Amino acid sequence: MTTVHNMTNKSGKLLIPLLSVVSALLLSSVVIFMTGRNPADIFLKMFRSTLGSEYGIGQVVFRMTTLVLAALAIAVPFQLKLFNIGAEGQLQMGAFAAAVTGALLPVSTPSAASIPLCIIAAMSAGACWAMLAGGLKVRFGVNEVIATIMLNFIAQGITGYLLTYHFAVPSTEHTQPVIYSASVPTFSLAFGWLKNSPANISFFISIGAALLFYIMLFKSRYGYEMRAAGLQPEAAIYGGINTARHILLGMAIGGAFAGLGAINMVLGYKHYYESGMTGGIGFTGIAVALLAGAHPLWILLSAFFFAVLEYGGLTVNAYIPKDIFMIIQALTIILIISFSAARKKP
């Protein structure tokens, strides 16, 4: 009976995201039809533009890379029943730290030192920013949703001030470029793949991060304690698990993943930090994590889906407003929440 129940539970967890995606696409098709366009034609054009060319695939891979890491920033604290809304601010702080570090390094610094230093700076900035919310939660019982939302605004203010008054190139809204050795090579440059696209080898870092989180969560004692602290905190404390430590570390690890997303955007693409460069990616990461049920491996598929929608909306913008694809994203999450709630009802 237990085996049958587990199989039913797993199939239900898989069915809900699938049903949500299909339902969102069907509802969005109605909206597209109301604009006077054929939904089948629009979706066909979108998939041809995204997955039918090297450049389109490269754009999807580039967007997917940051989305995976932003989603991991939400998924790690979620295991502790913490809702980290601050991936946007953590990514912003990480991007700024990576850009400034890469710009201030001596030009003669080799790649073997410059890239790791920028990665450490980005992850440390993201981790410290997330740990602030964790500390407020542990010490004063401040709700992490409120704390992380407010920290997003503070991160925007701090980076804006430092950029404007200390680090911006005169008459611009961006920092000095990072030194050449701190640049992460694109697939096109390194392997001759996905030519002219911004996809770079930080994609492998995002895949590795998801696999690392999977191993940590399901194959280690720390992961077992983390899940126990999230499911039954009082029982975990009784069993000798330090839940306060797990809250602090869980938030810090999530923030570090968010900061790591800066490697794709700064070192692999722009090569500098500019105002507004995160563009709400941290908030999209919440949707990616929710669709994946905060599972590290499903996040890879979820991020791919959202990356296709994000770039696909741009490719068919001449035919329909790209906002329709934002509607698909929002509908998907609303439907997941609705179907999950309905399934839990007796």
Q: Look at residue 340 in the predicted model and tell me its pLDDT.
A: 76
CA torsion 143-148-154-156 (nearest 10°) is: -160
Averaged pLDDT for residues 134-161: 96
Residue 186, domain extent: 38-319
Percent of the residues in the chain that have a pLDDT greater than 70, as a whole number: 95
User: Is 86 inside a domain boundary?
Assistant: yes
Phi, psi of 201 (to 5 degrees): -75, 0
Task: Evaluate whether 206 touches 63 at the Cβ level (below 8 Å).
Answer: no
User: Is 27 inside a domain boundary?
Assistant: no
User: Is 104 inside a domain boundary?
Assistant: yes
User: Is 135 inside a domain boundary?
Assistant: yes
User: Is 66 inside a domain boundary?
Assistant: yes
Reduced to 3 states (helix: H, G, I; strand: E, B; else coil), residue 84 is: coil
Averaged pLDDT for residues 128-156: 96
Q: pLDDT digit string (tens) for 287-345?
A: 999 999 999 999 999 999 999 989 998 888 888 887 888 888 888 888 888 877 776 66
Q: What is the CATH number of the domain that holds 113?
A: 1.10.3470
pLDDT band at 28 (very low <50, low <70, confident <90, very high): confident
Residue 48's nearest CA partner among 285, 316, 293, 264 is 316
Residue 145's nearest CA partner among 80, 82, 94 is 82
User: Is 4 inside a domain boundary?
Assistant: no
DSSP for 122-173 reads: HHHHHHHHHHHHHHHHHHH---HHHHHHHHHHHHHHHHHHHIIIIIBPTTSS
Residue 310's nearest CA partner among 274, 285, 346, 335 is 285
User: How many independent structural domains does the chain possess?
Assistant: 1
Q: pLDDT digit string (tens) for 57-91?
A: 999 999 999 999 999 999 999 999 999 999 999 99
pLDDT band at 242 (very low <50, low <70, confident <90, very high): very high
Averaged pLDDT for residues 238-262: 94
- Read off the DSSP letter of residue 174: B
pLDDT band at 238 (very low <50, low <70, confident <90, very high): confident
User: Is 296 inside a domain boundary?
Assistant: yes
Q: Residue 87 carries which side chain, given as an amino acid letter? A: A
Beta bridge partner(s), residue 274: 174
Residue indicated by tokens 């992460």: 184
Q: Which helix (H) or strand (E) holds 220?
A: none
Q: Look at residue 313 in the predicted model and tell me its pLDDT.
A: 87
pTM: 0.93
Pair of tokens at residue 212: 């690392």
Reduced to 3 states (helix: H, G, I; strand: E, B; else coil), residue 232 is: coil
Q: Look at residue 2 in the predicted model and tell me its pLDDT.
A: 43
Q: What's the CA gap between 60 and 281, in Å, rounded?
A: 14
Which residues have a Cβ under 8 Å from the Cβ of 224 and sit 6 or more positions away? none
| Residue 4 clears pLDDT 70, i.e. is over it | no
Averaged pLDDT for residues 221-237: 90
pLDDT band at 8 (very low <50, low <70, confident <90, very high): very low
Could you tell me which residue, 265 or 346, shows the higher pLDDT? 265
pLDDT band at 10 (very low <50, low <70, confident <90, very high): low
User: Is 129 inside a domain boundary?
Assistant: yes
Residue 254's nearest CA partner among 276, 280, 226 is 226
Beta bridge partner(s), residue 200: 186
Q: Angle CA(140)–CA(141)–CA(143) in degrees, nearest 5?
A: 125
| Mean of all residue pLDDT scores within the chain | 91
The radius of gyration of the chain from alpha carbons, rounded to an integer in Å, stands at 21
Phi, psi of 186 (to 5 degrees): -75, 165
